Chain A
Amino acid sequence: MVVKNFQLTLKHAIHGIEVTRLYPEVIMDLPAAERGIHQLDVRTCIGCGACARICPNSCIEQVSYKYGNPLKNKKMKFPQIDYGRCMFCGLCVDDCPTGCLTMTREFQIAGWNRNDIIFGPDDIAVGKYSDEEAAKLAEEARIAAEEKKKKKAAAAKAKKAKAEAAKKGDEGSGEKKKEE
């Protein structure tokens, strides 16, 4: 039986199974479903905070981010992820209503201290606005805000006018009542 065991050893030696992986240089193929570091599409994020609420370890915190879309809301907050606590369960990704938070195949995170592995929106963002785009958006936002202001003013004016008219009408009806 010793011979048999050696036969097995020889068989495996000759067939040449590839055992050693040249890890840092060659990374093994990871599937599309891999749950690695997050990726945030800042253009579609609506800042609802669903990811922060579902996180079992509360490692997601909503923070403000200056490159966020100014057209939507300047005060909108984006997720910041503390990878020191994250256990890569993927619940945040499942719960994201717009599908802007996804997980990538990237898995190498290392830092010299704990703060290095807290990834803010800037570290995980994709589709960031370029400066030009941001300026354009800011301009659009300004115009939109102005229009809104104008509309508001107009609405207020209209309301005032209406109220006055109603007042007059009231007075009129009062007179009518008096007449009766």
Chain B
Amino acid sequence: MTTANDVLDALQSAFPGAIQEFRVESDNRLWATVDPNKIVEICKFLRDEEDFDHYSGAAGVDKIDEDLFEVTEILASHGAHPVVALLKVKTPRDTPSVKSLTGLFWNADWYEREIWEMFGINFEDHPGLYPLLLVDDLVGSWPWRKDFKGYPDYNTNERVLEKINPDGYAEYKISPTEAEIEAGTVPETRPEYPTFREREIMELETESEMILHMGPQHAIVPGPFMLDLRVDGERVKKAYLDVGYIHKGIEKILENRTYIQGIPITDRMCYLASLSNNEVFCGAAERIMGIEVPERAQYIRVILEELSRIQSHLLGTGEFLSLLGGATFSPFQWMILDREEIISCIESVTGARINHSFVRQGGVRNDLPDGFAEMTRSALKTVVDKTNEYKELLLSDNIYRKRMEGIGILSPEEARRFGLSGPPLRASDTPYDMRREDPILVYPDLDFNVISRKEGDSKARVEVRLDEIIESCHIVEQCLDQIPGGPIREKVSKKIKPAPGEAYYRVEDPRGEMGIFLVSDGSDKPVKVKVRGPVYAYMQALPPLLEGAYVADVVAIAGSMDACTSEVDR
């Protein structure tokens, strides 16, 4: 099996002198600072020779003390080996510019756009640096820099131009500084994101085409995003996606909260996966602090996270079915009923039904109550019986199969190229699961299968979810049998101050790979928190997936991804 040391040796022999600094944290984490001029070649080498075919994301860090920006590229492999390579590129703070990886990895597009709009780091050779999450007005204020003081703020105040548009609203524009123009961060004539009318004029080619607006409020997802479909008759020619309608700035909020105070904030990224979000935030801090969680606490975390996965899949599938056929596929209400039982089990431990804030650095908040095992076992029995029933029901329903089979097919190569993870990737014949690849907590001791399907269509994605419910029930039952006694929290001081350092910690969310890149400088607040969410990748893959589909199938495709816009925008 390839380890981090092997990758490092290969890199050093292929590019002598290009690795400026390195740190091998463990067998599956490699940190390296590389020469900014060679980052593209190094990534190409890793992709082609060392099987790093999964571009997990990128994170920007503002090192204001050293007068530097750091961009960390996170690369991993789809099952060939468990190494995660974190390659850092440094760039001066007054002329920030790094090379774009969009030529190598298709999904680098959005991650780089986000870093550009938040930090003002230019990406050379990027095809279109439009703002992704922010409005056009905010470009130029660079909100994630450490010297940002609000908008329209004190440090850009003189450069803000106010313009009253024809509708009577004030529009602001921040003109770039000379240094920024020189570095190419903001070109003087920046392409503005087209409005709906402009897009109609720009994109429509023939008389028979039109643009169909879906969103920002639409029934297919429980959150706002805008999908513009260029349709010719019933066929979708091209789809344009615009996100950022509920950008909450959670990563910036976390920078202004202590490690303990940050836990309830992470709940709000996605309410169906709040336990996984707690886990990933606390786990990253634990990695930096170097503490081992007591075994009982690990079991409690696994039990709750698997229960949380069950309820998420039940709601996701049920909601999707009700959207798909209105009243025809009524399992939604049944699944809600099943979910209530699971939620009651979680509530008896955490005390809340949705936003749990339960995991703590070094353990969990409180112990399991008396009678939890019996309650959970009976709830799991109901869920397994019912899920088998649903599977049978869906398999035997002709209307359902006609709507779902062969719709929105993702080939394994495409799914990997899009950077997907979780059920949509596993439905495309790629058994890639963080619980196997990057084992955390007690998952290595547990017996479970990674569910996958060969077809890659909408039906397969729903089937993977239903099968995962049963598999999760199996995991929880094992945990309930094996759970040892003992303490539930490692002794951690009340003021958590991790040593200076950084960590990348990832877990299997109900929807896929959820990772947090955390940087600490030894104070009680994190310097940078970058959330790599699974739904971000789903959303990015949506426009190419919808091309060529029928308008009526758009819901069947987009809904089968089980997207959560709140997590995309964060």
Contact = CB atoms under 8 A, between A and B. Distances in A.
B365 interface: yes
B8 interface: no
Nearest to B347: A31
Contacts of A17: 337
B260 A91 contact: yes
Contact of A33 (B366, B389, B393): B366
A97 to B, nearest CB: 10
A132 B431 CA distance: 72
Contacts of A55: 261
A11 to B, nearest CB: 9
Interface in B514-531: none
Contact of B261 (A4, A31, A91): A91
A89 to B, nearest CB: 4
A12 B334 CA distance: 10
Contacts of B334: 12
A89 B365 CA distance: 11
A8 interface: yes
Interface residues on B, range: 20 to 34
B347 A34 contact: yes
B369 A87 contact: no
A128 interface: no
Contact of A56 (B257, B369, B392): B257
A32 interface: yes
B396 A95 contact: no
A168 B505 CA distance: 74
B337 A4 contact: no
Nearest to A31: B348
B48 interface: no
Interface string A73-93: 000000000000001111100
A1 to B, nearest CB: 4
Contact of A89 (B263, B337, B349, B397): B263
A28 to B, nearest CB: 8
Interface in B332-347: 333-334, 337, 344, 347
B352 interface: yes
Interface secondary structure of A, over-half rule: loop
B263 A33 contact: no
B19 to A, nearest CB: 40
A55 B262 CA distance: 10
Contacts of B262: 56
Contact of A1 (B257, B349, B397, B494): B397
B260 A8 contact: no
Contacts of A35: 351-352
A54 B261 contact: yes
A90 B357 contact: yes
Contacts of B365: 90, 94
A93 to B, nearest CB: 10
A5 interface: yes
Interface in A12-49: 12, 17, 19, 30-35
A54 B260 contact: yes
A32 B397 CA distance: 43
Interface in B258-308: 260-265, 267
Given A5-B397, A56-B261, A56-B265, A34 B351 contact: yes
Interface string B535-570: 000000000000000000000000000000000000
B355 interface: yes
A1 B351 contact: no
B350 interface: yes
A103 interface: yes
Contacts of B337: 17, 19
A95 B494 contact: yes
A29 B355 CA distance: 19
Interface in A109-159: none
B349 A33 contact: yes
A103 B337 CA distance: 27
B265 A33 contact: no
Contacts of B350: 33
B351 A4 contact: no
B54 to A, nearest CB: 34
A4 B263 CA distance: 47
Contacts of A32: 369
B352 A8 contact: no
A33 B345 CA distance: 11
Interface in A96-110: 103
Nearest to B264: A89
A45 to B, nearest CB: 19
A179 B261 CA distance: 72
A4 B389 CA distance: 11
A1 B389 contact: no
A5 B429 CA distance: 30
B493 interface: no
Nearest to A12: B334
- 3 smallest A-B Cβ distances: which pairs? A89-B264, A1-B396, A33-B351
Given A5-B393, A32-B369, A91-B263, 16 more contacts: A5-B397, A8-B389, A8-B393, A12-B334, A30-B347, A31-B351, A31-B369, A35-B352, A54-B261, A56-B257, A56-B265, A87-B264, A89-B263, A89-B267, A94-B365, A103-B351
25 contacts: A1-B396, A1-B397, A4-B393, A5-B396, A8-B389, A8-B393, A12-B334, A17-B337, A30-B347, A31-B344, A31-B369, A33-B351, A33-B366, A34-B347, A34-B351, A34-B352, A35-B351, A35-B352, A54-B260, A56-B262, A88-B355, A89-B355, A89-B357, A91-B357, A95-B494
Interface of B: 257, 260-265, 267, 333-334, 337, 344, 347-352, 355, 357, 365-366, 369, 389, 392-393, 396-398, 494
